[in-house]
């Protein structure tokens, strides 16, 4: 067995945390999978995996090799695809991280068609709203809203989404319907959004201006942010496409439409060394098309 195949086996065992599952997925005998990892450890002169009867976990050396092995496999796959232009030749694994509501409401419902179009592509879809280390976490690309402060990544803007102000009918019945930002000073509260540890967003934006508002609740993901608004806990500013169904049903109401925040940029971010990945390119192109109807014109 060549070294590249050993790397493939090692990466799969590390990702699944199981020799048995890796062997089943690769349709190989468990002994072959175990021998491949043992040979890698012998060549490296160090233990890469901790084995117990319950689980398999990476050692510190194993974590370092996992990052490098993933890149080696990515490069090999890209070389294999260099002169292949048909859709069927988009192969290998692509790991993407997107905001939780984008995954649930936009990407997952459309995935059957995408995966039928590229039947040899395996997609790893993670759903977080926090900043992550793409290299350490083994992620090829993240989709993020706003202006990320990560200069080491390539940022590909995909467009801008409209933001609106909204609240629940119960909140408006209790606090009144604001018509102007000045009205917000009269007892209104917003729901805060925690983007990173200790960083709380409790500023109300309208155009290029901001207004500090009190908040009784601070959350750290979009699902909780919208759910808290539906529960009457405060005002929020949110992409229109994310709450259109709630506005249609009456669960939320738009307010101060003439004083909306500026549109928010949506971007794909990825390490520069993966810029030429064909599978990354087809995903970004597909997602941009999927996002199109929600963008400002």
Q: Which residues pair with 95 in a beta bridge?
A: 124
CATH number where 39 lies? 1.10.10.10
In the predicted model, residues of the chain with pLDDT beneath 70 are 77-78, 80-88, 132-137, 148-152, 195-201, 272-276, 297
Which pLDDT value is given to residue 83? 60
- Closest residue by Cα to residue 56 from 84, 98, 21: 21
pLDDT tens digits, one per residue of 192-231: 987 644 445 578 888 778 888 888 899 988 889 999 999 9
Which segments of the chain are extended strands (E)?
Answer: 49-51, 56-58, 92-98, 121-127, 141-145, 153-161, 163-167, 190-196, 199-201, 203-206, 209-212, 215-219, 236-239, 253-255, 264-271
pLDDT tens digits, one per residue of 145-164: 887 665 567 888 899 999 99
Q: Check whether residue 31 and residue 16 sit in a common domain.
A: yes
DSSP state of 20: H
Which pLDDT value is given to residue 276? 54
Q: Strand 141-145 and strand 264-271: pairing?
A: antiparallel
Q: Check whether residue 6 and residue 43 sit in a common domain.
A: yes
pTM of the model: 0.66
Q: Check whether residue 181 and residue 249 sit in a common domain.
A: yes
Which pLDDT value is given to residue 82? 62
Cα distance between residue 295 and residue 288, in whole Å: 10
DSSP state of 42: H
What range does the domain containing 198 cover? 163-262
Which pLDDT value is given to residue 199? 45
Which pLDDT value is given to residue 16? 80
Q: Check whether residue 243 and residue 271 sit in a common domain.
A: no
- Contact indicator for 49, 59 with CB cutoff of 8 Å: yes
In sequence order, which residues have a C-beta less than 8 Å from that of residue 218 and are 6 or more positions away?
191, 192, 193, 194, 200, 202
Which pLDDT value is given to residue 85? 55
């Amino acid at each position: 067995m060549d070294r590249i195949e050993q790397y493939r086996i090692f990466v799969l065992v590390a990702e699944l945390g199981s020799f048995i599952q890796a062997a089943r997925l690769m349709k190989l005998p468990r002994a072959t999978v175990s021998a491949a990892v043992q040979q890698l450890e012998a060549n490296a002169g160090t233990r890469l995996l901790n084995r117990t009867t319950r689980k398999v976990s990476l050692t510190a050396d194993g974590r370092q090799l996992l990052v490098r092995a993933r890149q080696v496999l990515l490069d090999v796959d890209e070389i294999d695809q260099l002169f292949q232009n048909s859709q069927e030749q988009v192969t290998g694994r692509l790991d993407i991280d997107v905001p939780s509501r984008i995954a649930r409401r936009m990407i997952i419902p459309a995935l059957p068609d995408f995966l039928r179009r590229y039947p040899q592509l395996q997609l790893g879809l993670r759903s977080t709203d926090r900043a992550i280390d793409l290299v350490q976490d083994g992620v090829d690309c993240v989709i993020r809203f706003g202006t990320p402060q990560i200069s080491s990544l390539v940022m590909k803007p995909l467009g801008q989404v409209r933001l609106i102000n909204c609240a629940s009918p119960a909140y408006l019945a209790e606090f009144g319907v604001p018509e102007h930002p000045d009205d917000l000073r009269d007892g209104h509260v917003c729901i805060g959004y925690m983007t990173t540890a200790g960083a709380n967003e409790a500023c109300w934006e309208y155009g290029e201006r901001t207004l500090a508002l009190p908040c009784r609740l601070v959350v750290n993901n979009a699902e909780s942010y919208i759910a808290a608004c539906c529960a009457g806990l405060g005002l929020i500013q949110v992409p229109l496409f994310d709450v259109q169904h709630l506005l249609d049903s009456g669960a939320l109401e738009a307010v101060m439409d003439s004083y909306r925040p500026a549109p928010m940029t949506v971007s794909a971010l990825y390490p520069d060394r993966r810029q030429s990945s064909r599978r990354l390119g087809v995903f970004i192109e597909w997602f941009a098309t999927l996002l199109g109807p929600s963008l400002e014109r």
